[in-house]
Every structure is written in C-alpha cells, then in structure tokens.
Homo-oligomer: A and B are copies of this chain.
C-alpha cells in the first residue's frame, strides 16, 4: 500500500526535534515544487523499543545527545526558526498525534502541527494535555471539544497504533521520514532531496502521458 509517487508521505512524531524542523518547513517547501503532502503522524517509542532501545538514541548515547542540542540551535538559526531546548525530552505526543490523524486530510493540518511543535520546542510546554491543545484547536476555528473527544476514544487510539505499526513495517527507524512511492528518505536533511525526487517523477510521468 504505497502512495501515489507524485506525493510526499511525511512521517513525523511530535516529540522528535528533527521532526520539528520539517513540520515547520514542509508546507512552503512542498508548495514551491507543487508536491502534495500526505501527513503521517506516528509514535517513535514503539519503533525504538522494537529495535531494542528503551529511549531515544539522543538520550541513550550521551555523546550524540550532547551534540544534537548544539546542532538544533544552528539548524534553527539557518532556517529562521525559534528554538528552546525542551526541559523534558522526548515529550509524549500521543494526544496531538491522534488529533493529527483526525486532521490529516483537512486544510488545518499544517497549522495545527506547527502550533503543537512550537508548544514543545519554543514554549517548552507539555504537548499531551487537553488544556494546552484546546486553545490551538479553537484558534484554528475548530470545535475543540469534539476533536478532543474523538482523540480520546478507542477507534482513534487504535488508528494511531496501526499507523505506528505500519511505520515499522515500512522500515522506518527514525523521524522525520519521507516516502515518495517506495523510495524512503530519512531526516530533515533529506526533505529537499525527497521533494525534488517527487517533482522529477511528476515531470517524467506527465511527459510520458503526453507521448501516449
């Protein structure tokens, strides 16, 4: 079950600092290349556990962990993004992930994800609590109560588990990860390559149609 090769599947996790960079950048970058985004929130925790790791590699490997925060400062400066190192890392983002599943095909998905990411990586606040998430939903003109209820109900819980299991089956081992058809790209550093790949495929596909 793979997406149309002319789209980009964007697999991200709200607790992941490198996902923060891509969430903030992807809508503008994809619009420039006219590549539609398929939003795919998932949880990294079960993925890491399936690989035998009890936590994020940035927590488990102290050398890499120390580096990552310096790298984030520089990357955010490069992309013109605000940045505060979260006092809790990685933050649990189960509730906003379920909300992102609800909104995945809706026009508000991008703005919602950016606001949740800013809650974590700019405002340094808990992202898993209803009272933090409700104001974001309201500000987007949505019914916070309805979406919160849906996000806490069993069907949406199961959908997030399923989506996370699908991530694992597709060979995803970190976030963000992008797919263009079956082609996998890992890390914010590959977002531009993935978009270029998708747009080149669109050109190839439309010129082959033109020849028919």
Chain A contacts to B: CB under 8 angstroms? 51, 61, 63-64, 66-67, 70-71, 74, 78, 171-174, 183-187, 189-190, 193
Contacts and interface: CB of A to CB of B under 8 A. Distances in A.
B51 A61 contact: yes
Given A63-B171, A173-B63, A70 B189 contact: no
Contacts of A51: 61, 63
A123 to B, nearest CB: 27
Nearest to A190: B71
B193 A78 contact: yes
A185 B74 CA distance: 10
A50 to B, nearest CB: 9
A54 to B, nearest CB: 13
Contacts of A63: 51, 171-173
A185 B67 CA distance: 8
A193 B171 CA distance: 29
Contacts of A67: 171, 173, 184, 186
Contacts of A184: 67, 70
